[in-house]
């Protein structure tokens, strides 16, 4: 829709009024973000300026060489004036919309159409981003994309059989469209990750995103759902989510904390979207939950909706040993660096024998609780050393930053680091006392026992509640 600006009576029109012949109808910024598009495009810029006197200039360009003949040509340079206006259109009681108005010369309507088409195409495509649904809207998240690109299946702490089955189930789905059709079954799949919190469900989802985004021939986009809450209610959100998934298919649709999203009020609506009359061709859906028992049986126990379930249980002793070995390596590396930098005079003793002992006393702990035990222990030791030696605030902050970096790296533990390629143990590093049973002489052992005991009491209280 265009509105022609004319001058009825009064003084003669100014040059600007003469050339401002076309004004587009309001363009909502959320559907055609001109500023964001121009910021990433080499052929367009948006520059704040005062209203110009004209939007079109005609030039004569003479022939480039007399030898080539010709008499030159006319050329026209176009300027598009964009107004950004915040307001509320329509009768909806929510939200403020930023509308954009493009004012252009009469003869530049084709240029405007090209601009809007390119901007619209850019706005609906991903550029190192993840589609995230929250508060009733889809938005693109570059920070989440950067986070998932650091995750890898090589660094997920799971038993080998479980990991291989999970990876194959996911990758095989996207490679098996023809097989599904040949068998006459819908090309869709549902998976549930369940188990106590803090045992790798989220990092496994991230690793899957990474794997799918880096496929060589056909990268698979992720659609990540944060919440069903919205201005239109959860039913509206479910409708928006599955409409987007069908449009983006093949895709990976993620619902974290599924049990808290799909309540009794929206259960039937959700089930209909998952397995109703609408086609969900090419959608692999994963839902995670800490409480499988809270999911409706129609979701948890019906294969045509969520076909497979994978348990992420508390780590057994072998995995707890590996996790302790990860912390041991980091503590020894950090101690060496701090000693060389003059921050600490002596490195913290962490003999290898402690890894098995720590694994024994942390029976029933998740990886998250083990992380908390190590972080609390190391911070307590660092604080005690700082008080004793009177370290300045710079050293204290450096120590805290080191502890923080180590605590963040636990998710990226590569279990193969602890073993050689053939599965044999690496050579000892000299920081071991063999089979010594007099472990209380090590400050780390004394402190971590105390932290584990406090955490176990905390776990007992949580279970009682």
Residues 24-52 have pLDDT tens digits of 667 788 778 888 888 887 777 777 766 56
What is the phi/psi pair of residue 27, to 5°?
-110, 105
Can you tell me whether residue 216 is helix, strand or coil? coil
Say yes or no: 30 and 106 in one domain.
yes
CA distance 280 to 249: 8
Shared domain for 103 and 242, answered yes or no, is: no
Is 249 inside a domain boundary?
Answer: yes
Q: What is the Cα–Cα distance from 318 to 25, expressed in whole angstroms?
A: 65
Considering the domain architecture, whether residues 119 and 169 belong to the same structural domain is answered as no
Interstrand relation of 27-28 and 97-104 (parallel, antiparallel or unpaired): antiparallel
Decide if 88 is inside a domain.
yes
Q: 143 — phi, psi (to 5°)?
A: -65, -40
Percent of the chain with pLDDT over 70: 74
Domain that holds residue 284: 141-311
| Residue where the block lists tokens 């400050």 | 443
Indicate whether 334 and 452 sit together in one domain. yes
Domain assignment of residue 135, yes or no: no
Is 188 contained in some domain?
Answer: yes
DSSP character for 24? B
Question: CA-to-CA distance for 61 and 59, rounded, in angstroms?
Answer: 6
Reported residue count of the chain is 465
Residues 102 and 244 occupy one common structural domain: no
- What span, in angstroms and rounded, lies between the C-alpha atoms of 270 and 287? 13
Q: Write the pLDDT tens digit of every residue in 48-100.
A: 766 565 566 676 777 777 676 777 777 766 667 777 777 765 555 556 778 88
**Is residue 164 located within the same domain as residue 304?**
yes
Q: Which of 4-18, 59-73, 356-370 has the lowest mean pLDDT?
A: 4-18
| Residue at 2 is within a domain | no
Cross-strand pairs, 311? 194
Residue 44 and residue 109 share a domain:
yes
What torsion, rounded to 10 degrees, do the Cα atoms 376, 379, 385, 388 define? -80
Beta strands 308-311 and 137-141 are: unpaired
- Show which of 251, 284, 311 is a domain's final residue: 311
- Exposed/middle/buried for 415, CB within 10 Å: 0-12, 13-18, 19+? buried
**Do residue 400 and residue 282 come from a single domain?**
no
Q: At what angle do helices 443-464 and 353-361 cross, to 10 degrees?
A: 20
Residue 200 has pLDDT above 70, yes or no: yes
341 and 252 within one domain: no
- Tell me the pLDDT tens digit for each residue of 299-344: 888 877 888 999 999 999 998 998 899 889 888 888 777 776 666 6
Which domain-ending residue is among 258, 276, 311? 311
Last residue of a domain, one of 311, 333, 353: 311
> Does residue 306 lie within any of the structural domains?
yes
CATH number of the domain bearing residue 203? 3.40.50.300
- CB 446: neighbour CB atoms within 10 A? 13
Kindly state whether residue 133 falls inside one of the protein's structural domains.
Answer: no
250 with 392, same domain: the answer is: no
Return the number of other C-beta atoms located less than 10 Å from residue 170's C-beta. Answer: 22
Number of domains in the chain: 3
Whether residue 333 sits in one domain with residue 289: no
- Please say if the pLDDT value at position 141 is more than 60: yes
* Residue 437 belongs to a domain: yes
Average pLDDT score over residue span 173-186: 93
């Amino acid at each position: 829709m265009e509105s022609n600006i004319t001058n009825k009576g009064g003084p003669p029109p100014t040059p600007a009024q003469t050339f401002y012949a076309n004004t587009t109808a309001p363009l909502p910024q959320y559907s055609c973000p001109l500023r964001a598009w121009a910021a990433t495009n080499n052929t367009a810029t948006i520059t704040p300026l005062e209203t110009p006197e004209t939007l079109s200039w005609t030039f004569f360009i003479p022939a480039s060489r007399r030898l080539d003949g010709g008499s030159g040509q006319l050329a026209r340079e176009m300027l598009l004036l964009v107004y950004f206006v915040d307001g509320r259109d329509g009768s909806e009681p929510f939200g403020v919309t930023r509308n954009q108005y493009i004012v252009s010369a009469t003869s530049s309507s084709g240029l405007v159409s090209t601009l809007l088409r390119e901007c619209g195409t850019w706005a609906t495509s991903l550029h190192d981003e993840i589609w995230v649904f929250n508060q009733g809207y889809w938005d693109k998240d570059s920070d989440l994309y950067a986070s998932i690109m650091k995750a890898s299946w090589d660094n997920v702490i799971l038993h080998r059989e479980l990991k291989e089955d999970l990876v194959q189930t996911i990758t095989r789905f996207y490679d098996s469209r023809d097989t599904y059709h040949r068998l006459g079954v819908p090309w869709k799949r549902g998976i549930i990750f369940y188990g106590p919190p803090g045992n790798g469900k989220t990092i496994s989802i991230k690793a899957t995103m990474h794997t799918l985004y880096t496929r060589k021939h056909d990268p698979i986009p992720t659609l990540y759902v944060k919440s069903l809450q919205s201005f239109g209610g959860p039913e509206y959100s479910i409708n928006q989510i599955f409409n987007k998934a069908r449009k983006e298919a093949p895709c990976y649709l993620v619902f974290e904390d599924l049990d808290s999203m799909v309540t009794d009020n929206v259960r039937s609506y959700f089930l209909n979207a998952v397995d109703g009359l609408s086609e969900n061709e090419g959608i692999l859906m994963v839902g995670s939950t800490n409480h499988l028992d809270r999911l409706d049986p129609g979701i948890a126990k019906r294969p045509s909706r969520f076909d497979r379930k994978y348990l992420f249980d508390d780590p057994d002793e072998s995995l707890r040993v590996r996790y302790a070995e990860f912390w041991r390596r980091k503590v020894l590396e950090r101690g060496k660096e701090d000693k060389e930098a003059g921050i600490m005079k002596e490195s913290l003793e962490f003999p290898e024998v402690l890894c098995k002992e720590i694994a024994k006393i942390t029976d029933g702990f998740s990886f998250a609780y083990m992380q908390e035990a190590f972080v609390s222990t190391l911070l307590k030791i660092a604080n005690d050393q700082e008080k004793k030696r009177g370290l300045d605030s710079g050293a204290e902050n450096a120590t805290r930053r080191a502890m923080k970096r180590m605590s963040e790296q636990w998710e990226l533990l590569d279990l193969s680091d602890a073993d050689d390629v053939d599965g044999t143990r690496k050579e000892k590093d000299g920081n071991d006392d063999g089979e010594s049973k007099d472990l209380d002489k090590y400050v780390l052992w004394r402190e971590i026992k105390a932290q584990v005991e406090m955490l176990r009491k905390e776990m007992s209280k949580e279970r009682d509640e």
